[in-house]
Structure 1
Amino acid sequence: MATWLDGTDFARYALIPEELLPTWEGTEADEVMEEYVSALRMAGRDILTLGAEPLSITWLAKPLTFARWCYADDDTGLLSAVHAAGSADGWKDVLTLELGGRYVLADAAYEADRILGSLRHAQQPAEALRVELSPGRYRVQSLIVDPDPKTQFMLERLLPE
């Protein structure tokens, strides 16, 4: 089973470079609140944001994919659905950005102290996830998958360019 961030009050997650986390105030993503996938720049670094709905989210490191839980009884079919979707038609190019290094995925409205506290104390449910990416340019693509009539996940994958 994946580790899920259990929804967001703000309806927006941010993939924050770890070195910028101590200065994160929780208001940086305010201007992109309505978009499903977007990016901001902070201190010369790109920050990926995912949201517009308060869905639970997880990070799958091997396929470089974020999955948001639209509806499902559980996540047992998630990995097979993501792998099956890998070669599927319908992926929509959303944006391209520069990423690389250690990141933290968290509710974009949380302040640094709350995010850092969550990482230190490994609380349940989790409020932050660590993500590590090789440096480079990434294309972000989105796809909604319906592995069965009772299951739907929204996927955002990172494709190295």
Structure 2
Amino acid sequence: MFEAEEKMGKAIEVAKEDFASIRTGRANAAMFDKLLVEYYGAPTPMQQLASFQSPEARTMLITPFDKGAMANIEKAIRESDLGVNPSNDGHSIRCILPELTAERRKEYVKMAQRKGEEAKVAIRNVRRHAKDQIDRAVKDGEIGEDQGVRTEKELEAMTKKHVDLVDELLKGKETELSEV
């Protein structure tokens, strides 16, 4: 049960990270979390190569620690699905996020729903695995049938709690995306 709850908690954390990487009207460093930059022949997370500042609501200022990586960082941003066109001033890269159109907002809502569904599937897979272990323990006589039934009820309650949490996160992200 503890292992199942821990894995469900990790699924929630992954969902939070995924939701944070979906862009809204405001600039935030989490948008760049999943971007990998080719750095000395190895794909490296952008967070390890630069610092991020948001001087304005829709502007992100990216300052590389190593100026030699600037071209690769700029290339990674340009090739990403963020829809921003970075400009390089020699010291830092400025990304100005365009206003979100209604069509783009709908796309982002669909993306959020897809990531939410992936999180729910992960939680349900954890439940299925835990249920199999409970059934095996009852069959092997390690625990009694009554204890098995009680544990399954606890597992169902835990699963429902985590799925509801994903739904809440998704609802919050949808609200955030639909704000103009």
TM-score category of the 2 structures, normalised to the smaller one? under 0.3
Q: Normalized against structure 2, the TM-score is what?
A: 0.23
- More strand as a share of residues: 1
Larger radius of gyration: 2
- More helix as a share of residues: 2
Q: Normalized against structure 1, the TM-score is what?
A: 0.24
Q: Which of the pair has the greater relative contact order for Cα pairs under 8 Å at 6+ separation?
A: 1
